[in-house]
């Protein structure tokens, strides 16, 4: 049977049989409704989608069903060329697509486009092969090919040879992957192709004529009209593999290419270096000192040897330093610091390494600038080299449980009751802690424990948490919104904001280690006893125990029981009104004292913290490095970036653009470090010309003190003019 005579008894279309029909049961039902004969439904059930009427191999959810390949089907044997067709979905409806490499805009039949997808007022002009220009409406539809969904803009037409006429715009989105799926290349074919390629390369190396001929042929092909076809139609499947020789060759070319960067500026020999020294404006003064026209500093002498300028110094036993022009300084700094043999050492060691061999005006400042702008050094330097910001004290809370802080401790060793975590809650006014043993830390469990706490102490105004996913979940956000609670979050990787609960976490874990050393699986049963022990003792910041600030009295503990057993005191009846009045006055007095103690404690902490802190500021658009956890080791952190500052959030927080897609996060300034970029003109220091009015005299003395501690003085009368001079290894820039 010919392909043109095959008719599907399910959908009634030509070109395929029922077992190949992509419409399946739906097409069968449509055919049964319109015809006189009733069709039997396939009783088999698909284990992928669960529907009856087909098996998994023919399931519409199968990734390879609609696109077994971008296959060629010959529709006629009368000399017509074959049609390249494929199957896909438009707005969930299976359709057949005709691929046309001469079409630049995809067209779809009108009946396949819902009215809601049409873009009102937008049209597209399409020029046919015979020159006619037609205007078509434009629609934005959801298109699925082999399980990949994309939204595309297509033209809408009433008359098309197929439901969809797929153009090159569709091939750019789906074409590459689909063509690769239908093309197969065996290992032997790949090896044979690689062998032929190596033979051609060998002949090219032996004879340039062959390479020239191949280049001409390639140029002719590129100039042909075939280059307008989409390159994905001719792509080869799989990842291109390189042999060891090709990898070594590529590595040598890369090393050679990178090593030649900037080599055109460097002198190739003594004559070129002498010429560059003579033409360099920054070395004019040194040249005059070498020729005896100007007087040099004591202990420093500039000389010419074989036409080259040298600096001879008596410091450290005497050294002979070659004077470098501007064009050679960057290369010297790169070799002295950046390469592995340079070791990325610090400013002092790099300066000593350079000045042992070379010198130029402002060498110390150039080395400092180069070390500060080195990208590798900026990313790998420790956090201790970044000054911390000054401490900002939190507002003092007077009302108990007006602001609380929450955090999670764990995972711990699983107890006999199945608990592995602890939900810790601390009150900022009284320092009263609560702890709940949990089996899981999902948002639902935390919400239940939070409601349990609020049933005893009331609804808080603010809840401070970190950036944990369980605290930032939608469920807790809805609970906050329903109860009018303000949720406050700390900045990422900066737990100092929630220092109260973090400090209590450390105390609680230390108490658990001490009390559960023999029975580690019973830690959850000991939790209430440890909480009582913590609540009973006075806090250093407030001067009172959490029990006293919350209840207005000292609770009865084990020591009180022991004391009462040794004492014989009679109980006296007390008036209830008098007791309440006394307790209220006691609470007010203790609250005022606690507030004063908190202020005093915060001031003391700030003084000690700010001893090594200093204020830093960033502006919008500034580039910074961010201290983030390493992608390989989560327990270590490293500088990443640079990233751009978007805006300032408060005094010490900044919103930073992280990665692509305009994603932003808020970081504390202690997690940020300024990114320094090398300036192209940082290795050029301006000269003092003859027409300048100021003249400087630098006096150098040894062993005598004339009131100038550093031995340097400046005067207006001198014949010396110098951009910079050096005494005892320190550069003095005269500006």
Average pLDDT of the residues in 197-208:
66
Inter-residue contact 69 to 78 (CB < 8 Å): no
The superfamily CATH assigns to domain 403-588 is: Ribonuclease H-like superfamily/Ribonuclease H (3.30.420.10)
pTM of the model: 0.43
Nearest residue to 299 (alpha-carbon basis) of 313, 311, 287, 309: 313
Of the given ranges (239-248, 333-342, 420-429, 664-673), which has the lowest mean pLDDT? Answer: 239-248
Inter-residue contact 655 to 649 (CB < 8 Å): yes
Inter-residue contact 123 to 68 (CB < 8 Å): no
Of the given ranges (116-125, 191-200, 317-326, 355-364), which has the lowest mean pLDDT? Answer: 191-200
Could you give the CA distance from residue 264 to residue 388 in angstroms, rounded to a whole number?
A: 44
Could you give the CA distance from residue 563 to residue 631 in angstroms, rounded to a whole number?
A: 58
How much is the pLDDT for 565?
A: 72
> In the structure encoding, which two tokens stand for residue 4, read together?
């043109």
Could you give the CA distance from residue 175 to residue 232 in angstroms, rounded to a whole number?
A: 6
How much is the pLDDT for 691?
A: 39
How much is the pLDDT for 383?
A: 61
Inter-residue contact 676 to 374 (CB < 8 Å): no
What is the per-residue burial (b if ≥16 Cβ within 10 Å, else e) of 705-723?
eeeeeebeeeeeeeebbbb
Can you give the residue ranges of every domain in the chain? 3-182, 403-588
Range 580-588, long-range pairs (CB < 8 A, 24+ positions)? 583/552, 583/553, 584/552, 586/552, 586/553, 587/552
Query: pLDDT-derived band of residue 41, with 50, 70 and 90 as boundaries?
Result: low
Inter-residue contact 14 to 6 (CB < 8 Å): yes
How much is the pLDDT for 238?
A: 45
How much is the pLDDT for 428?
A: 87
Range 74-82, long-range pairs (CB < 8 A, 24+ positions)? 74/3, 75/3, 75/4, 75/15, 76/4, 77/2
For 211-263, the pLDDT digits (tens) are 444 334 433 433 333 333 333 433 444 445 667 777 766 766 665 555 444 44
Q: How far is CA 353 from CA 341, 402, 459, 729, in A?
A: 12, 62, 66, 13
Inter-residue contact 356 to 393 (CB < 8 Å): no
Query: pLDDT-derived band of residue 716, with 50, 70 and 90 as boundaries?
Result: very low
Could you give the CA distance from residue 262 to residue 254 in angstroms, rounded to a whole number?
A: 15
> In the structure encoding, which two tokens stand for residue 609, read together?
């913290």
Query: pLDDT-derived band of residue 281, with 50, 70 and 90 as boundaries?
Result: confident
Q: Which residues contact 82 (CB under 8 A, 6 or more apart)?
A: 72, 73, 74, 75
Examine the pLDDT at 526 and tell me if it is beyond 50.
Answer: yes
> In the structure encoding, which two tokens stand for residue 492, read together?
């990422």
Average pLDDT of the residues in 396-420:
86
Inter-residue contact 365 to 723 (CB < 8 Å): no
How much is the pLDDT for 135?
A: 85
Tell me the backbone φ, ψ of residue 500, rounded to 5 degrees: -60, -50
For 492-512, the pLDDT digits (tens) are 777 777 778 888 888 888 888
Could you give the CA distance from residue 679 to residue 409 in angstroms, rounded to a whole number?
A: 48
Nearest residue to 626 (alpha-carbon basis) of 389, 368, 378: 378
Could you give the CA distance from residue 169 to residue 361 in angstroms, rounded to a whole number?
A: 60
For 290-317, the pLDDT digits (tens) are 888 887 777 788 888 888 888 887 766 6
Better pLDDT: 268 or 210: 268
Nearest residue to 508 (alpha-carbon basis) of 542, 489, 532, 540: 532
How much is the pLDDT for 734?
A: 35
> In the structure encoding, which two tokens stand for residue 517, read together?
């050393």
> In the structure encoding, which two tokens stand for residue 598, read together?
């908190």
Please state the length of the chain. 735
How much is the pLDDT for 436?
A: 92
Could you give the CA distance from residue 500 to residue 393 in angstroms, rounded to a whole number?
A: 12
> In the structure encoding, which two tokens stand for residue 551, read together?
């209840």
Could you give the CA distance from residue 512 to residue 524 in angstroms, rounded to a whole number?
A: 9
Tell me the backbone φ, ψ of residue 328, rounded to 5 degrees: -105, -10
DSSP structure class, residue 163: S
H-state helical runs in 224-336:
244-259, 270-279, 284-290, 326-333
| Cis amide leading into 147 (omega within 30) | no
> In the structure encoding, which two tokens stand for residue 271, read together?
């004559």
Query: pLDDT-derived band of residue 582, with 50, 70 and 90 as boundaries?
Result: low
> In the structure encoding, which two tokens stand for residue 212, read together?
């020239």
> In the structure encoding, which two tokens stand for residue 302, read together?
């500039």
Mean pLDDT for the chain overall = 71
3-state secondary structure 608-662: HHHHHCCCCCCCCCCEEEEEEECCCCCCCEEEEEEEEEEEEECCCEEEEECCCCC
For 609-667, the pLDDT digits (tens) are 777 777 788 888 888 888 776 666 655 667 777 888 888 888 788 888 876 656 788 88
Query: pLDDT-derived band of residue 466, with 50, 70 and 90 as boundaries?
Result: confident
Angle at 36 between CA 35 and CA 37, to 5 degrees: 95
Better pLDDT: 533 or 184: 533
H or E element that contains 199: helix 187-206
The single residue listed with the structure tokens 């737990």 is 495
H or E element that contains 303: strand 300-305
Q: Which residues contact 562 (CB under 8 A, 6 or more apart)?
A: none
Q: How far is CA 8 from CA 20, 495, 609, in A?
A: 8, 68, 83
Could you give the CA distance from residue 672 to residue 491 in angstroms, rounded to a whole number?
A: 12
Examine the pLDDT at 681 and tell me if it is beyond 50.
Answer: no
For 151-177, the pLDDT digits (tens) are 888 888 888 888 888 888 877 776 544
Q: How many CA atoms lie within 13 A of 387 on its CB side?
A: 10
Tell me the backbone φ, ψ of residue 336, rounded to 5 degrees: -80, -20
For 362-403, the pLDDT digits (tens) are 888 888 888 888 888 877 776 655 667 777 666 777 788 888
Better pLDDT: 606 or 452: 452
The single residue listed with the structure tokens 């609804």 is 459
Rg of the chain over Cα atoms, rounded to whole angstroms, equals 41
How much is the pLDDT for 61?
A: 59
The highest-level CATH class for domain 3-182 is: mainly beta
């Amino acid at each position: 049977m010919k392909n043109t005579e095959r008719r599907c008894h399910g959908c009634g279309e030509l070109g395929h049989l029922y077992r190949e029909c992509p419409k399946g049961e739906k097409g069968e039902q449509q055919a049964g409704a319109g015809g006189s004969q009733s069709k039997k439904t396939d009783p088999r059930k698909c284990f992928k989608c669960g529907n009856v009427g087909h098996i998994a191999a023919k399931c519409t959810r199968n990734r390879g069903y609609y696109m077994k390949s971008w296959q060629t089907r010959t529709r006629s044997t009368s000399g017509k060329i074959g049609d390249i067709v494929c199957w896909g979905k438009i707005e969930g409806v299976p359709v057949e697509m005709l691929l046309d490499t001469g079409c630049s805009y995809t067209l779809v039949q009108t009946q396949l486009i819902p009215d809601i997808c049409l873009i009102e007022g937008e049209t597209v002009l399409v020029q046919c092969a015979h020159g006619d220009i037609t205007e078509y409406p434009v629609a934005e539809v959801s298109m699925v090919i082999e399980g990949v969904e994309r939204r595309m803009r297509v033209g809408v037409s009433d008359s098309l040879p197929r439901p969809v006429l797929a153009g090159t715009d569709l091939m750019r989105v789906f074409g590459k992957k689909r063509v690769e799926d239908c093309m197969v290349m065996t290992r032997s074919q790949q090896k044979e192709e690689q062998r032929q390629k190596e033979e051609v390369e060998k002949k090219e190396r032996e004879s340039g004529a062959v390479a020239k001929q191949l280049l001409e042929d390639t140029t002719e092909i590129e100039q042909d009209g075939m280059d307008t076809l989409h390159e994905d139609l001719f792509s080869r499947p799989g990842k291109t593999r390189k042999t060891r020789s090709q990898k070594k060759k590529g590595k040598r070319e890369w090393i050679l290419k990178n090593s030649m960067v900037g080599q055109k500026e460097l002198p190739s020999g003594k004559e070129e270096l002498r010429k560059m020294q003579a033409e360099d404006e920054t070395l004019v003064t040194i040249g005059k000192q070498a020729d005896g026209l100007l007087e040099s500093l004591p202990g420093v002498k500039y000389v010419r040897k074989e036409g080259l300028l040298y600096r001879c110094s008596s410091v450290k036993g005497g050294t002979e330093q070659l004077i470098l022009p501007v064009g050679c300084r960057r290369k010297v700094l790169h070799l002295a610091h950046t390469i592995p043999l340079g070791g990325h050492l610090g400013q002092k060691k790099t300066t000593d390494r350079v000045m042992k061999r070379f010198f130029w005006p402002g060498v110390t400042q150039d080395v400092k600038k180069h070390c500060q702008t080195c990208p590798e050094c900026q990313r790998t330097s420790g956090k201790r080299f970044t000054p911390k910001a000054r401490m900002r004290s939190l507002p003092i809370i007077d009302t108990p449980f007006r602001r609380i802080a929450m955090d999670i401790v764990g995972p711990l060793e699983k107890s006999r009751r199945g608990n592995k975590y602890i939900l810790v809650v601390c009150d900022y006014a009284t320092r009263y802690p609560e702890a709940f043993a949990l089996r899981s830390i999902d948002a639902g469990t935390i919400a239940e424990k939070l409601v349990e706490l609020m049933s005893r102490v009331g609804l808080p105004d603010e809840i401070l948490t970190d950036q944990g996913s369980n605290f930032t979940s939608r469920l807790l956000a809805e609970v906050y919104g329903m109860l009018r609670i303000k949720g406050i979050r700390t900045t990422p990787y900066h737990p100092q904001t929630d220092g109260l609960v973090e400090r209590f976490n450390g105390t609680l874990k230390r108490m658990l280690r001490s009390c559960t050393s023999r029975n580690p699986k019973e830690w959850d049963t000991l939790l209430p006893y440890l909480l009582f022990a913590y609540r009973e003792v006075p806090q250093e910041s407030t001067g009172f125990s959490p029990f006293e600030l919350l209840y207005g009295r000292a609770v009865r503990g084990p020591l009180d029981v022991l004391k009462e057993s040794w004492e014989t005191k009679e109980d006296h009846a007390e008036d209830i009104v008098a007791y309440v009045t006394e307790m209220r006055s006691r609470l007010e007095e203790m609250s005022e004292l606690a507030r004063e103690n908190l202020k005093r404690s915060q001031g003391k902490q700030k003084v000690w913290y700010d001893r090594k802190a200093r204020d830093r500021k960033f502006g919008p658009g500034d580039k910074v490095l961010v201290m983030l956890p390493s992608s390989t080791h989560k327990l270590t952190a490293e500088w990443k970036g640079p990233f751009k500052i978007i805006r300032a959030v408060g005094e010490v927080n900044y919103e930073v653009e992280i990665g692509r897609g305009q994603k932003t996060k808020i970081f504390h300034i202690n997690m940020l470090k300024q990114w320094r970029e090398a300036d192209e003109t940082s290795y050029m220091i301006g000269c003092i010309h003859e027409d300048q009015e100021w003249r400087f005299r630098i006096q150098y003395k040894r062993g005598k003190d004339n009131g100038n501690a550093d031995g340097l003085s400046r005067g207006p009368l001198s014949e010396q003019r110098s951009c910079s001079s050096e005494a005892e290894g320190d550069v003095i820039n005269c500006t």
